[in-house]
Structure 1
């Protein structure tokens, strides 16, 4: 069916704005593909996780039963990591590119969700209505996507969990909105509601952060039961709305129970859940109020950002800062209630914001570290508020002025975001920022110890052992620094290895690769060896093992290149004749299988010699 000219124009405007939105995200974050992994959970989650591999039955079994490596249950999150590994191995560029792609996708999904939140005041399909809705939605999506609080989730490889989970949450919301629109038009809507419920489940099993999504969907059904149009059908009853969001609510409660069970039962790597005797109810409420106000303030003025803020390590709930936070949080809640008739959207937005932020209020954790990534999903509510605020403007002059001011603000945020990305370049920039912004000596010394430990793993001989010993001696009762010191004491970092530029991390990756090879996982072994060589290019033993694995994988030409590099005089690798004979035999077999008999014959001759 041919679209009306006005609809065609509105559609093309929406497509054009989405293209600009994606281009802006790519321009802002493209340079992060040159960033490295950081020892800020990337080691535990990705490159030192022996279970991160190309998807197979062994991995799928592990991902649905794993509940010890992280205090969360996230089978689809692990699957996302596995898919990136299958595409690009342990090359950090692939992991950062995947994050950029997910964030750009989320920006477009946010645009689609926001455009359906706006009331349709003009006649349906009119040119003014469709164009202005598109501009308002694009401004809100840009406000969210280019904000400095998004940097941590995008520029950090492990932040993919937040991006992936939010993508499913947005799909769930969009499908729910479409279902409401189909109901308005008298068309079947069961399929759309089913997609919404399944996407909600996918979000919760990717990373459990969208516990408040059922509340958000109920708000959408209450506030906009007819897809933004009023007067066409009676509003949905509360019982009907509960029925629509019941599947989402059941999923959220079930996953919340699983998450609590995993977190409470977690031992070893993560600190136990704070007891009520050590962290009382009043302190928890004061901390939650502070976090609500803090994240709201940073959304307006994103300055002084740090990946680890230690303000909540030890605090007095009766201090002016926390009492003021409680008063302000209660005041905002009261204002939203009293203005519910004049400004109903304000109350709905505030409720949605609190619902999505609840998992990040630290009710179970003490000490607690506020993080920028915790605003990735709740920040969408504030961006929706920007969209709705723009949508209330009726005059053309007012629209141009407000839209221009919003875009200027987005430009300022984009500049701040670009500067913030530099924090995540490598261990030195990341830990340096944390040390610079640390409020307590303990946190400063701990991350100085982490930095020294990362230098040790990478083979940087800059006195890391003495630095860690000094830090541990300054904090004799600190178990974290004592653990770092014990690791350094057992680290195999001989002068010969240091002289060759080898890193203990590269040797550990080679050990993991050989385990993979013994189990027949040759692709996984190849990727770990390639990452080891990116850390220590002169690691001749790893290069020789890579040559063997490449030949076994049917890539004899690549294997020859690696083998010749490994046995070159400058490499210092000494192979016994039996090893050389075995290698030439493997190469001959590989060339024969690849249909290259001349190369196979040459390898056979070299084997005889």
Structure 2
């Protein structure tokens, strides 16, 4: 086994060991239940499962390979959380190893691609060490925990693994292809194989999640630097070469938009733009200084105008972009990494539409963290290369690697502990942001599942107070949930009061469920006349809305 593959397995094993504490965590009521435990579609593995996976928009996602992987897991482990976390960890570790191979290949062409004036000072001390550092800095980082430790995010780890395989085979193709001035190398079976495998793995990635929908643009940036294929072949030939990739990306983008059509939040354009710039800056800060990472960042929903909190991120964006442009001739790798960072973040910034109630999330950096890790590794390399390629410089580089990786490993293990269960998770959100009503609501639900009704009720009261102060538009959900808790506690009078409050703000398609719950409470109180009235109104509401009412 050569040194490259030895490093590959060392990277994979190091990442896997760093995430071993995750095997002690459970499955969360927050989405894990809907994705796995309550998803009867994956509780068997058959042709019907395959058909459902490819034809459904379950939970606002089109992710057939993700559903099939979870169905396979369920056939092995059932509801045992260890199996789901184990598979996520293995996929993440393999992605880290694949990213190492990608970085190593890029390092091999990096020195030759640098402008002549920059060679020597910015040369790579050792491509294997530099590539390994980039892979470890990416994979063992607290921002990766959400994608790996949350079983629901199987779609992230699966999509990234296939996507990195697509990039790896594309680099093999591009490095062997050379100039495209002689058009497509139809007689070279090896190149055709690598290109086809890249396209195939890209398809697998998109069928897991639309995480890498911007991959064709990323490949164009790599063609610019460090591959320098645009200079040798021309932009037209390079773009035409990507047409199959763009067509696949466009098709899946349309499917994703259709799947998420019912989950779009009505947020004005100004708020979306300002939140996007704030998110870009926050992700950079959390990458460099991963302190205070929250499992949930509530969206502001309505930003009335420009304040310093939003002006500074815009100013930072302009300064960084201008600096990268200034460095383009002397050090184009900085601009290349910045462009890839922005391109890979773009689908998750909510600029065109906002899906869900989160302003940002650690999982949204799962792909965008790659170029930053590579750039940071090159920066550490350049720092020690400036002292010359001496033995002391190499030892110092290895020492810096060890310190950085061990520090990140400690912070990653600490972050994993916050994902142990729902109570621990939402307690962490409350610690970091006490005014997040969603966190109290979710922790209330977690206590409710534990039959700890007093704590559940206390959290829900807090959630209602916060929601009312923010003029939350779905107050009926909170009152309905509180009515359920009071009913389970035997306080039917208060339960009826809460259901009545819920009906005051509930839309037509939600009224049937609430009316039925209030009718059931009346029935238990012996008020059959009122119960029958609510049951009749509930049936009428179903007819008026044409079907079911959904669930809380």
User: Number of matched residues?
Assistant: 463
Quote how far apart the aligned CAs of 1:234 are.
7.6
**Separation in structure 2 between the aligned mates of residue 360 and residue 384 of structure 1, nearest angstrom:** 21
Matches within 5 A, 1:221-232: 221-225=223-227
* Residue from 406, 412, 416 that aligns with 1:411: 406
SS at match of 1:424: coil
Q: Indicate how the Cα distance of structure 1 residues 181 and 422 shifts in structure 2: closer, same or farther if over 3 A, else same.
A: same
Q: CA deviation at 1:60?
A: 1.5
1:358 alignment counterpart = 346
Shift of 1:47: 1.1
Partner in structure 2 of residue 194 of structure 1: 196
| Structure-2 change in CA distance of 1:307 and 1:313 (3 Å) | farther
The 5 Å alignment of 1:382-531 reads 382-389=372-379, 393=385, 395-396=389-390, 397-438=392-433, 440=435, 443=436, 445-465=437-457, 467-468=459-460, 471-472=463-464, 475=467, 478=472, 482-487=476-481, 489-490=483-484
**Is the deviation greater in 39-48 or in 141-150?**
39-48
How far apart are residue 480 of structure 1 and its match?
Answer: 5.2
Partner of residue 287 from structure 1, selected from 257, 275, 278: 275
Alignment RMSD (CA, Å): 2.9
Question: In the alignment, what sits opposite 1:203?
Answer: 205
Q: Tell me by how many angstroms 1:313 deviates.
A: 4.2
**Alpha-carbon separation, structure 2, partners of 1:142 and 1:463:** 41
Q: CA 1:464/1:344 → structure 2, altered by over 3 Å: closer, same or farther?
A: closer
Establish whether residue 300 from structure 1 lines up as the match of residue 288 from structure 2. Answer: yes
Which residue matches 2:499? Answer: none
2:365 is matched with which residue?
Answer: 375
1:239-388 equivalence runs, <5 A: 239-264=236-261, 266=262, 270=263, 272-274=264-266, 278-280=267-269, 282-310=270-298, 312-363=300-351, 364-365=353-354, 368-388=358-378
Deviations 1:133-160 (A, max 9, x none): 1111101101111111111111111121
Query: In structure 2, how many angstroms separate the alpha carbons of the residues matched to 1:304 and 1:473?
Result: 25
- Distance change in 2, residues 1:20/1:399 (3 Å): same
Larger Rg: 1
1:369 is paired with a residue whose SS is strand
Contact 1:139 1:403 in 2 (8 A): no
Q: Which residue of 2 aligns with 1:163?
A: 157
- Corresponding position of 2:9: 19
Q: Would you say the 8 A contact 1:76–1:206 is kept in 2?
A: yes
Distance 1:481 1:436, change over 3 A: farther
Match of 2:38 among 48, 62, 70: 48
1:322 positional shift:
0.8
Give the superposition deviation at 1:390. 5.3
- TM-score normalised by L of structure 1: 0.70
Contact 1:107 1:145 in 2 (8 A): yes
Change (3 A) 1:385 1:491: same
Give CA deviations for 1:479-518 in whole Å, capped at 9, x if unaligned: 656425424645799789xxxxxxxxxxxxxxxxxxxxxx
- Shift of the alpha carbon at 1:330? 1.6
Match in the other structure for 2:542: none
Unaligned residue ranges in structure 2 (runs of 5+): 113-122, 180-184, 491-552
- Kept after mapping to 2: 8 A contact 1:471/1:481: no
TM-score for both structures, normalised by structure 2: 0.77
Of 152, 169, 191 in structure 2, the residue corresponding to residue 175 of structure 1 is: 169
Q: Which residue of 2 aligns with 1:116?
A: 105
- 1:206-231 C-alpha deviation (Å, 9 max, x unpaired): 1112122111111222224389xxxx
Q: Aligned equivalents of 1:455 and 1:147: distance in 2?
A: 30
Contact 1:77/1:161 (CA < 8 Å) preserved in 2? yes
User: Structure 1's 286 and 146: CA in aligned 2 closer, same or farther, altered over 3 A?
Assistant: same
Give the equivalent residue in structure 2 for 1:545: none
Judge which range, 89-98 or 240-249, deviates more.
Answer: 240-249
**2:83 alignment counterpart:** 94
Distance 1:53 1:234, change over 3 A: same
With 430-439 and 254-263 compared, the bigger mean Cα shift is at 254-263
Matched, 1:152 2:146: yes
Gap change, CA 1:317 and 1:165, over 3 Å in 2: farther
TM-superposition CA deviations, 1:329-370 (whole Å, max 9, x none) = 122112211221011111111111111010111211285421
CA contact (8 A) 1:153 1:159 kept: yes
Would you say 1:137 and 2:134 are equivalent positions?
Answer: no
Separation of aligned partners in 2, 1:141 and 1:261? 35
Within the candidate set 56, 59, 67, 1:66 is matched to: 56
Give distance in 2, aligned partners of 1:474 and 1:140. Answer: 43
In structure 1, C-alpha distance between the alignment counterparts of 2:326 and 2:215, rounded to whole Å: 25
Structure 1 gaps, min length 5: 1-10, 124-128, 228-232, 497-609
CA distance in 2, matches of 1:353, 1:181: 23
CA contact (8 A) 2:447 2:455 kept: no
Distance 1:317 1:356, change over 3 A: farther
Measured in 1, the distance between the counterparts of 2:159 and 2:294 equals: 23
Give yes or no for contact 1:225–1:236 (8 Å, CA) kept in 2: no
The separation in 2 between residues aligned to 1:99 and 1:273, in whole angstroms, is 30
Q: Could you say which residue in structure 2 is the equivalent of 1:555? A: none
Q: Is the 8 Å Cα contact of residues 225 and 235 (structure 1) preserved in structure 2?
A: no
- Seen in structure 2, the aligned counterparts of structure 1 residues 178 and 390 have a Cα distance that, compared at 3 Å, is farther
Other-structure match for 2:232:
235
